[in-house]
Structure 1
Amino acid sequence: MEIWKNLLLEIKDKTAYLTVNRPEKLNALNRDTLQELGQVLRRLKTDNGVRGIVLTGAGERAFVAGADIAEFTGLSQEEARQLAEWGHHEVMDVLYHFPKPIIAAINGFALGGGLELAMACHVRVAVAEAKMGLPEVSLGLIPGYGGTQRLPALVGRGKALEMILTGDMVDATSALQWGLVNHVVEAKDLAVKCEEILSKMYSRSATALTAGINAVNTGLRAPELGYAAEIEAFAHAFTTPDFHEGVGAFLEKRKPNF
């Protein structure tokens, strides 16, 4: 277990368990926490012993209950722009384009920047008691870490605008129905469910997983480029050792050794 100022990191059985550790602040994202997240993600990206990440919050009350609003006080327009750009570049976009699967284990409140953090992950699993929302309009703001873009991609324009313009929270059942989360489980089963999903992914080709992430993201970012990206990734797969192992295993009626 590595103990950072605002994070905990444990690597076990190919999985990095990354925990935002500010329970007294409901794990709110201050600048120091975002900096640490960026540093850890860069390291895990090149760690060949890590195939996936579970991202969660410390304690039982919150995943991440938003940004640290105290840090917003006194910011100029240009400073606010720089803060949003920095958060996108250093953390949110890194998560979204990460070449290994990342699961957000939503163990409580995921609000504002916390929900944006979860939406940047590839898969979301929530406890039944979780509450999610983008309450920025109640502060005279809008989401600044990708919420206005990633929420519509998950739930559609109408639901996204309802959440963003009311600032209201939704419960886990509604989040599941809308497609905001992939699974809802009891709190005792949260880690088990995340590990179950990752275990299945680990039995597949790592190079294919990365290619799949990239192709999906390309199509969402630039729909006119999506099909071409898929075709190119499909063709490139034929050059990889994983393709030869996977096809060989299929023909030999055995499990592939990825």
Structure 2
Amino acid sequence: MKTVTSDAQVSYLLFPWYNKTMMSTKITVISVFLLIVKLIFPQNATEIVRKADAQMRGETMQAEIIIRTVRPTWKREMECKTWMKGSSLAMILIQSPVRDKGIAFLKRKKEVWNWMPALERTIKLPPSMMSQNWMGTDFTNDDLVKESSVVSDYNHTVVGDTIIQKRDCYVIRMVPKPEAAVVWGKVILCIDKKDFLELHSRFYDEDGELINIMNSDEIKQMGGRVIPTRFEMIPTGKKGQKTVMIYKNISYNKPISDDFFRLDNMKTLY
């Protein structure tokens, strides 16, 4: 029986060195092509936002925070302790000043509660209150307790690149999904390409007016990861007004029981 040999088989049998060279060339071409694709089509915008959120939040997070509210004629400082687990559980306890000591906020999934020791009352905050300023600062209730999710409640698009603090950053536009109950009509994020740090944010209302600008800096190793440790929220059109949030210390991924995030636990934290 006659055996039919293809040109490719003959080439391989007669010139094995040539075929190895061609195979190596093909692999090189593919590698270059994949690199070009990566440069032209960067990471998915939602995945970038997810990584930035995870970098700051962790699976669990416990922190001590200083919040300084600055106004043209006065300043105020608060110290808080916060616990977070995933994106659905969070607790904030105010430790000072004395008149506010013991005030606590609890988030469980889409519910947000506030314990007021002076009134001995627990109040459930309606969604309409998420856009209001938290404890007289320039952060909203939603900024602090994160009732909405930057990952699941918005559609994300990479709209450009920029450099902030000598770091290459993605510029990402976030527009709320039709069914999402969120505070902002649009958010622009600048996220560092190397460590996925959110370094600059702009918050717009439903009419497209710029309301708040947030800058993040003092990047350092804390809690076993690189994070910004100072956040400055500046409302537009309000000269001499801002709120600065500083992380004194932070720890990540230490076990926290779901049972910790209970309504009655707010009353006993302090």
What is the TM-score of this pair, normalised by structure 2? Answer: 0.26
Write 1 or 2 for the structure with the bigger share of helix.
1
- Larger C-alpha radius of gyration, 1 or 2? 2
Instruction: Name which structure has the greater RCO, CA cutoff 8 Å, separation 6+.
Output: 2
Whose strand proportion is higher, 1 or 2?
Answer: 2
Give the TM-score of the pair, scaled to structure 1.
0.26
